[in-house]
Chain A
């Protein structure tokens, strides 16, 4: 059974169609990035998945349930983090929020405590347990929100902009935790974000939504391939070298310092880093290399452009 299933899902607001005949499904254990511009319909979809908004028409099932009719049952099996809204009780110590949520989810006190301890340890939040939520830093609060959403061990975790406003280090800790959580619990993940690092680190599948319509559904590499975005291999060589024009499957972008640094673009579907590197290193001494991934925001822009919108 799919964890999420939508068919011809439509939601109209007064004059606009926020979600337009959206059809997709997510299987248990998948990690799906849901991306698109502001106002493309991401939050509206999430609200329909969780029973906050009633669809104008079409079919939606979350954990096999109708979110409008079975909102409470859906809430038992899904965890949701709204990046810009809090699930926590801002005027009480963090510890209390977990205790209250445990009671709301009808977990007994021992189970609540055990689960809280585990999440707090994994998210390294021990020192903050006694701190009032309003005094937490944004990074700490986000980790707390995620722990709160996972307290009742949901099958599906929906994250709406979980890394918005976080510094690099906080983002990284959050992503590492989510990767581990998924590996250990097999939790299904649906994530909206503007941060392509989130997608690259966390998701094996990407849905691109544009003006309420699904513009792409596939892997991240596939997405880059679809719009012709290419990866770039930056090679530092030991000796000044003539421009590398003859590498199979790769094209020279530019070279610097008499050819000490050369940038080659290649299509990830057509060849591999290893093949390109093997070809170059059989002829020249390679000192260092870096790979520049395609800029996904650029990729999304191209998808929009390709579908005739901006």
Chain B
């Protein structure tokens, strides 16, 4: 195994993900409606931003273009994470179906199997709304372009996806303990996604601290956007934007701990 190439080692996951994609394509009509549905969700989220800025010029220190950038970055990260690991918070459903026991008797890590057990391609709908919004925001905003800006944007998307994936993973781990705990963990995953779309200046200090240091979704969009646009927020200095990957790593540290505690607590699906 030691001399196996990376590609060989990843083959099981490639085959698993390809099979998930194939399964969704089998029902083309329902697949298309699903995609239209997630486009709708993305547009509805966007409508909220548009309605607000139809009435005010600046909210929480952001004008419409800046708010659009924050919206785009957070939605991009969230829909990517949701597409790959969004099903992790459905863990109780997997446990009830006996699927988790089946994972245990296969020679692959549990979390990797769970992550690759679904690939919600329908979420490309929301993803494409986010991509279009990002394109519009980046071309219309007044940005002093430099290699550093480009690097920061890429880093933000990658880290933001990592942060939301970590939230889903932590939610999954916690659900080994919580019976029907989805409502509780949704507050952090979907709640975090909502918070990430906002200018952090609209939050009272306590909430701002929460969304920066506890559930670090401020790093997903707002803090990097302030740096990219060269805005002035004393609580979001430019150097903080470069710490976005650190926030991602810390989030993953917590997610891994939740997951490990959860699997240790697992007692099988009855029977």
Q: Which residues of A are interface residues toward B (Cβ below 8 A)?
A: 13, 43-44, 47, 50-54, 71-73, 75-76, 78, 80, 82, 84-87, 89, 91-92, 96, 99-101, 103-106
Contact = CB atoms under 8 A, between A and B. Distances in A.
Contacts of B104: 50-52, 71, 75
Give the bracket for the number of chain B residues in contact with chain A: 20 to 34
B102 interface: yes
Contacts of A82: 98, 101-102, 271
Interface in B102-153: 102, 104-109
A106 B10 CA distance: 10
B98 A89 contact: no
A103 B101 contact: no
Given A86-B98, A91-B23, A99 B107 contact: no
Given A75-B107, A86-B102, A100 B23 contact: no
B99 to A, nearest CB: 7
Contacts of A13: 267
Nearest to B102: A87
A91 B150 CA distance: 42
A52 B265 CA distance: 11
Given A53-B267, A99-B15, A104-B12, A85 B99 contact: yes
A91 B24 CA distance: 9
Given A13-B267, A105-B107, A106-B12, A100 B19 contact: yes
Given A85-B99, A86-B98, A103 B105 contact: no
B23 A103 contact: no
B22 interface: yes
B26 interface: yes
Contacts of B26: 91-92
Nearest to B27: A91
18 contacts: A43-B268, A44-B268, A47-B268, A71-B104, A72-B109, A80-B105, A82-B101, A82-B102, A85-B98, A85-B101, A86-B98, A86-B102, A87-B102, A91-B26, A100-B19, A103-B11, A103-B14, A105-B107
Nearest to B100: A52
A259 B14 CA distance: 72
Contacts of A50: 104-105
A14 to B, nearest CB: 9
A101 B102 CA distance: 12
